[in-house]
Chains A and B, each alone.
Chain A
Amino acid sequence: MTESRWVRIGLRIASVGVLAFLYLPLVILTIYAFNPSRLPVWPPTGVTLHWFGQAWENAAIRDALGNSLLAALGATSIALVLGTAAALAIQRHAFFGRDTVSFLFVLPIALPGVVTGIALRTTYQTVGLDLGLTTIIIGHATFCVVIAYNNVIARLRRLPRSPEEASADLGADSWTTFRRITLPGMGTALVSGGLLAFALSFDEIIVTLFTAGPGTRTIPIWIFTNIQRPAELPVVNVVAFLLLVVSIIPVYLAQRIAGDATAVR
């Protein structure tokens, strides 16, 4: 079937329109970050780097950034270990209740975040755990496990079993086979799963607002609090713009990994 010329033109216009819609807010945000005006009034009044200096000197932002990085690092580490173990168990073994177990790992991402948030908060209060960085990490790890699990299991399905069997035949024990055959095979899946988990944790606010104590702020919580303070908006613009710039890094890395993977195949 070939689409007629007019259908193609129509589709092209619709595609360009959708892409413009996707990028419009990001462009506006970038322009506002350099706006000298204190108020987000359109059109901007000029170009300045003044607010970047203000953001740099802001101790609360640095504190929030530290918390966000620690939380993302902690959650990603836990998620990679648990997600990989779960993927190996489910992909390499047959056992009773396997479907139920695999459904269980997907559940935290299928149910709305607000449910996860309030469930965790209620539990922390019930068992008497003080809200802080630890409670944030536990919450983030719970939904990041899915990301690591999905990435690793997709890779395991494509990895041929014969090198592992050969390794075992040549006398390697399970641990050696895992370390020298399976783990290198999963390498890029672990990196891309880890990247995705890290980004998800770094960006999370729906669950985090429930699990963070009043003293612990992450970057999203800092933005959320300061959006409601008109005096802080120019600095919020800068922080939002910088996050936008930083988000290009994982896209670039993910593309590199995908490119390498296709080159190997």
Chain B
Amino acid sequence: MTSTDVTGVPPSPPTGRGRSVAAWLHSRPRAQLGSLLAGPLGWMLLVYIGSLVILLINAFWDTDSLGRVQPWAWSLDAFERLITNDVYRTIALRTVGVAFAVTLTDIVLAFPIAYYMARVASPRVRRAMVVAVVMPLWAGYLVKVYAWRTILQGNGLADWVLAPFGIDGPGITSLSNAWLVLSYLWLPYMILPIYAGLERIPNSLLEASADLGAKTASTFRRVILPLSLPAVVAGSIFTFSLTLGDYITPDLVSDAKFIGNVIYDNSSLGNLPLAAAYSMLPIVIMVAYLLVARRLGAFESL
């Protein structure tokens, strides 16, 4: 493209090969799009989708008596073991159960503070509170799990606080620890979307509700709650998915095995086809969860 005809001022002459490539691309939006997409799309397809496909294939490979993978020997053994062995069903139900419990706990804990931030606090307090909620997210994941471990373990803070009441501390074996610590870890991911969702509700709707005679409680139940549902669902994607895929926290604060522990333990030394087959479960659960979440309008709140 030449622009001398428009302005009368000659543009600086193109120099170097880069310039001429840019000029060539400029007149061809499709080629421009292609060159932009090639890198990221290639990476995602090759590295990520490719890996998922290889994982899927591995789930159908046989193992010999020593547990070594036999490539290209097709078998449904891994899936059969997962279905017939009660242990794997228990672990799956436990993981999904804790994921739901964590999500519910985080909704209950997040709603009041998010409501306070969005509708009660002054702008200055609100800004400070957003920073205060975001800050623990930047503190390392392992740092926080480790901190809880020192609190919960024998002779730790929990023991010290409970001792005067004659109660033993929780130790680092019980499943409820995993629930507590995972709820703690993902809480900011629930507070932030609910806060954003509540802040978006126009005041005029609440005034209309009050003008029409609704009391505070019924305005909350019939206007605020339904309008904040997409934000709650958006937050729950994080709390649910992150719990579903965690294996470090259950390992460090409890004795309970999660889906991730079985996958990790079998990935290097144990039965790789079994680990591969088992990892299809969180994929299927998350895809189903995302489809439901999309129907509830959560994606607009992300």
Instruction: Using CB atoms and an 8 Å cutoff, list the residues of chain A in contact with chain B.
Output: 1-4, 7-8, 10-12, 14-15, 18-19, 21-26, 28-29, 32, 39-43, 78, 81-83, 85-86, 88-89, 93, 95, 101, 104-105, 107-108, 110-123, 126, 138, 141-142, 145, 149, 168-176, 199, 202-203, 205-206, 209-210, 220, 223-224, 227, 236-237, 240, 243-244, 247-248, 250-251, 254-255
Contact = CB atoms under 8 A, between A and B. Distances in A.
Given A114-B282, A173-B22, 8 more contacts: A18-B112, A24-B151, A28-B151, A123-B51, A142-B43, A175-B18, A199-B138, A248-B135
Contacts of B138: 199, 247-248, 250-251
Nearest to A247: B138
B79 interface: no
Contact of A42 (B119, B160, B206): B160
Interface string B245-281: 1111000100000011001100110001001100100
A209 B241 contact: no
Contacts of A85: 36-37, 39-40
A259 B148 CA distance: 34
Nearest to B37: A89
A110 B236 CA distance: 12
A220 B140 contact: yes
A3 B216 contact: yes
Interface centre among B142, B148, B209, B244 (most CB of A within 10 A): B142
B136 A23 contact: yes
Nearest to A4: B216
A122 B55 contact: yes
B66 interface: no
Given A110-B237, A173-B19, A203-B140, A95 B39 contact: no
B184 A21 contact: yes
B51 A119 contact: yes
B143 A240 contact: yes
A169 B140 contact: no
B246 A206 contact: yes
Interface of chain A, main secondary structure:
helix
Contacts of A32: 150
Contacts of A81: 39
Contacts of A145: 40, 43-44
B147 A240 contact: yes
Contact of B49 (A104, A115, A138, A168): A104
Contact of A170 (B7, B113, B219, B246): B7
Interface of chain B, main secondary structure:
helix
7 closest A-B pairs by beta carbon, nearest first, are A112-B245, A171-B3, A175-B22, A25-B147, A14-B112, A86-B40, A171-B11
B109 A173 contact: no
Interface in B97-156: 109-110, 112-113, 115-117, 119-120, 129, 131-136, 138-144, 146-151, 153, 155-156
Nearest to A113: B245
B282 A40 contact: no
A240 B36 contact: no
Interface centre among B2, B40, B264, B272 (most CB of A within 10 A): B40
A7 B58 CA distance: 56
Nearest to B112: A14
Nearest to A127: B54
Interface string B196-219: 000000000011011000001001
A26 B85 CA distance: 41
A173 B40 contact: no
A176 B22 contact: yes
